[in-house]
Amino acid sequence: MVKKLTCIQCPKSCSLAVDIENCRVAHVSGNLCPKGDEYARAEVENPLRILTATVLAQGLSLKMVPVRTDKPIPKAKIREAAAEIRKIRVTQALNVGDIIVADFLGLGANLIATRKT
């Protein structure tokens, strides 16, 4: 199976053709540099995403606090992470970058505030 991807590692946006066999990348073409090959392999075999969301605030001027993970997490864990975020209540003032949950879901990424409360 050949999957088409667009490399997002630089503004050239190379169109990649990714040959996939048994859920593994067999070959990548269309990339102008090795970063495209790395990107395609990661995107097919272990896609990662920064999760952005909001958590409920209680007793603060904001009703919702925008948050994100400080590192990408596996795309396969996004739904579980979003469900966990819905359980969180922020009750103390935060600055941008303050950690709300360390090592979120044991994924090695912290959940941090992206706005001062």
By CB under 6 A, name the binding residues for ligand SF4: 7, 9-10, 12-14, 31-33, 35-36
Cβ 28 to ligand SF4 shortest distance, Å: 9
For ligand SF4, which residue has the nearest CB?
36
* CA atoms within 13 A of residue 102's CA, in its CB half-sphere: 0
The DSSP bridge pattern shows strands 52-57 and 89-90 to be parallel
CA 74, CA 84: separation in Å to the nearest integer? 15
For residues 9 and 52, which CB has a smaller minimum distance to ligand SF4 in the complex?
9
For residues 3 and 68, which CB has a smaller minimum distance to ligand SF4 in the complex?
3
Cβ 108 to ligand SF4 shortest distance, Å: 25
Cβ 75 to ligand SF4 shortest distance, Å: 19
CA 71, CA 56: separation in Å to the nearest integer? 22
Residue 20: which of 37, 39, 45 has the closest Cα? 45
Cβ 6 to ligand SF4 shortest distance, Å: 8
